[in-house]
Structure 1
Amino acid sequence: MMKFRIQRENFIKPLEQISGSVGTNQKEPITQNVLMKIVPNDPTGPIKDAEYKMFMICTDTEIELVSEVGLFGEVEQGAITVEAKKLVTIIKSLPEGCFIYIEEAPDKKSITLSTERNKFSLSTLPAEQFPEIEILASSYSLKIKASTLLEMMKTTSFAIPQENYRVALKGMCFNIRQDRGSKRDLDIYTSDAHRANIQRAELEEDCVFPEDFSGRCSFILPKKTVSEVIRLLNEFSKDKAFLDSVIELFIGRTCFRTEINGVTVISCLIDSDYPNILMIVPNNCNRVLTLDRESFKNSLERVKILCNTLNNAVELIVVNSTITIKAKNSLHEEAVEHIIAEYEGDDFSLAYKADYLIDICKNMTAKKIKISMTTNSNSAKVEAVAGEGEPVSQACYVVSRIVL
């Protein structure tokens, strides 16, 4: 019978880090559980001095998060599953610094969780029924700085749609390219078919493929996996040493694996071809507006209040160096605001979805941005303008126009 003793703080932190991946399918209740498995500890691994360690695993069958913690004192090996959210809620409610004792019942259908003053009995499901994702051999791996990966994923993830008839668009595409000697760079794409986000960065090391490799030099992470990876990277982002560390992403034919500060992320990949996003990026643009990002965002948010709810569109009317942002709705209400931009070219008027432009401004940090398009363009390209002391951004955002 499995049993162990652990301090509250050592238990709750790794459990909270993985519990966001529990399933919500009522037909598979075991995916709402956390699997706790005690095994002998390898002293050469990351956990030192402990005789045993406990793996904690949560999954929804498409993504799996794994954390581990060292155990001391009287320990009995074994494996059990218990409802994750219920367990987290109980442990969080216990006094800080207390020790928790967990022991499996003789009939293996429940566990007892107790402290000096508390006692809870929780039902369990058989550990052998827990659906762990099969980890196949990796085809190749990427090495990238943690801060770079966080920046790339955060600034592109907002374009992944909740629902889309095109399976590939339900995730984030990672594409390895080689266009400068032997150095391989990484592109990240997201799109909902009406807008597209593109980020580029250098890998820390050249990506080496096996000699017999014949697969794609790209892979697509599902939306939930993207959210969990961003959450974990963000959680440790206050630690400069972590941000400077290198994250290795292992890519197999059907699955993805990485470790983020002791938490292992395993995920199925989306088996589909991502559309060629670069085909829709406007090039050789003869209309280029340079303007203050914050002022533009604030104006859009004010004018958006009176947008037509059917298309949420704002009209950009450019005359000389003045941009008039205009919106009106079915009640004949109207909002108009003027901002100054740096611009030389012909006068024009185009409409775009307000939320798309606002999202872009919120996810950029540069003081100034430029919006580029061609005379016959159906899309606008938005990029950062690097000011003095500002890093050069490789992000590019594309937004389709709306016909009013």
Structure 2
Amino acid sequence: MRFKIQREAFIKPLEQISGSVGTNQKEPITQNVLMKIEYNDPTGPIKDTEYKMYLICTDTEIELVSEVGLYGPVEKGAITVEAKKLATIVKSLPEGCFVEVIESTDRKSITLSTDRNTFSLSTLPAEQFPEIEILASSYSMKIKASTLLDMMKTTSFAIPQENYRVALKGMCFTLRQETGSHKDLDIYTSDAHRANIQRAELEEECIFPENYNGRNSFILPKKTVGEVIRLLNEYSKDKSFQDSVIELFVGKNSFRTEINGVTVISCLIDSDYPNILMIVPNNCNRVITLDRESFKNSLERVKILCNSLNNAVELIVVNSSITIKAKNSLHEEAVEHIIAEYEGDDFNLAYKADYLIDICKNMTAKKIKISMTTNSNSAKVEAVAGEGEQISQACYVVSRIVI
């Protein structure tokens, strides 16, 4: 294998895909990037080049693929080299320089050289590189890139790092059935103590194949969610982002999409997601309306003196006056009175401070409302549409804490 490429054309795709590099020391090849040169199809996205190079990183559960066109003398081939080491070297080279990469005759190393630099890196055979098997897609859904980014960013923070319930380790995408249309998409995340729900409409109705008897939902693993959000965030800097439509291809056990030239392939979590809608309080007779930013600031101040074991703050409502209170094992105490709108009975309930703060940070509306019923164990937080504001369809549910 042999090719020559400008530094900037090389480093961008390397940085785009290196997030999926494996960390398992028992499988060192997953820490490598696969570089594979093939003839280019001129009808594809890359024009005017005879060859193109695939750059692929994987941890065996998620795979990111980028393509780059190659000019000048090229020899086809495939080899793997440690991804982060390669990216660090290329990034350190002078701007605008050209990098020539040549594979050794024994296929055990490659040489990177410029006019002034030479680096020799060890390699592993491409034949040993694991690639996720892509089965035929069962169906696909089209959604605006900006809508998908907003939905995923404002719900992903509730995905737990560890949980005994496998389904909760990811983000659930569900097509709402009760509407009679396959155009309404819900996204759920939960850690069993809180739940986030976002709703949006697809660009086109999702068409299922005849005799399809699979799920109308799928669960993306936490790492895949993070990579998709990162790629969409990068893409959002492009002028074409606002009008761009992303297509999500869903198979029995796999997921695939393309974001700004990077293909994302992922395994899915094979489990049934719990019915999150069952825990959403309805017909609430306690509704507090308040300024989101002021509420967040108050929570952050009061939280300083929270009990470290439960991180709880109390919401105390007496004669429509609302107070936030926290105390700890040292008998230290923080009390703050807040301005809010409320009509209803007096109550005193505690919630985890960080959960409420996370919600406030991920909402943009000026005002929010916290709703609950007299016998509810949960509070529902939603945006209140102000003048000229487009109301978000996000809904957040937080379980109360007994203190």
- Are 2:198 and 1:199 equivalent residues in the alignment? yes
Aligned to 1:378: 377
The equivalent of 2:263 in structure 1 is: 264
Q: Provide the rounded CA distance (Å) in 2 between the counterparts of 1:143 and 1:188.
A: 15
Partner of 1:19: 18
Q: Is the 8 A contact 1:4 1:71 kept in 2?
A: yes
Gaps of 5+ in 2: none
Q: Please give the secondary structure, in 1, of the residue aligned with 2:396.
A: strand
Per the alignment, residue 242 of structure 1 pairs with 241
TM-score (norm 2): 0.99
2:115 match: secondary structure: coil
TM-score w.r.t. length of structure 1: 0.99
Who is 1:66 aligned against? 65
Compute the displacement of 1:318 (Å).
1.0
Q: Any idea what the Cα deviations from partners look like across 1:186-215, whole Å, max 9, x if unmatched? A: 000000000000000000000000012110
Identity among equivalent pairs (%): 87
Query: Which residue number corresponds to residue 136 of structure 1?
Result: 135
- Cα distance in 2 between the residues matched to 1:275 and 1:182: 22
State the shift of 1:397 in Å: 0.1
Instruction: Measure how far apart 1:315 and its partner are.
Output: 0.3
Q: Deviations over 1:217-249 (max 9, x none)?
A: 000000000000000000111224223210000
Structure-2 separation of matches of 1:306 and 1:379: 23
Contact 2:33 2:57 survives alignment (8 Å): yes
Distance 1:383 1:299 in 2: 18
Question: How many Å separate the matches in 1 of 2:191 and 2:272?
Answer: 15
Partner of 1:220: 219
Q: How far did 1:183 drift?
A: 5.1
Q: Distance in 2 between matches of 1:244 and 1:400?
A: 38
* 1:8-87 matches, cutoff 5 A: 8-87=7-86
User: How far off is 1:181 after superposition?
Assistant: 4.8
- Whether the 8 Å CA contact 1:321–1:340 is kept in 2: the answer is no
Q: Which residue of 1 aligns with 2:313?
A: 314
Task: Work out whether residues 170 and 220 of structure 2, in 8 Å CA contact, stay in contact via their aligned partners in 1.
Answer: yes
Q: Which 10-residue stretch deviates more, 66-75 or 233-242?
A: 233-242
Aligned to 2:370, the other structure's residue is in SS state strand
SS in 2 for 1:216: coil
Superposed, which structure 2 residues align to 1:84-163 within 5 Å?
84-163=83-162
User: Could you report, residue by residue, the CA deviation over 1:302-359 in whole angstroms, capped at 9, with x for unpaired residues?
Assistant: 0000000000000000123321000000000000000011111111100000000000
Q: Does 1:344 align with 2:353?
A: no
Give 1:98 shift: 0.2
User: Deviating runs (4+, > 4 A) in structure 1?
Assistant: none
**Amino acid in structure 2 at the alignment position of 1:18:** I
Give the direction of change, closer, same or farther, for the CA distance of 1:228–1:352 in structure 2 (3 Å limit).
same
Work out whether residues 178 and 184 of structure 1, in 8 Å CA contact, stay in contact via their aligned partners in 2. no
SS of equivalent to 1:87: helix
| Secondary structure of the corresponding residue to residue 75 of structure 1 | strand
Q: CA deviation at 1:180?
A: 3.6
For 1:351 and 1:183, locate their aligned partners in 2 and report how far apart those are by CA, in whole Å.
39
Alignment gaps of 5+ in structure 1 = none
Correspondence for 1:361: 360
SS at structure 1 position matched to 2:341: coil
* CA RMSD in angstroms, aligned pairs only: 0.7
How do 1:261-340 and structure 2 match up within 5 A? Answer: 261-340=260-339
In the TM superposition, 1:163-174 aligns within 5 A as 163-174=162-173
Conserved in 2, the CA contact under 8 Å of 1:320 and 1:343?
no
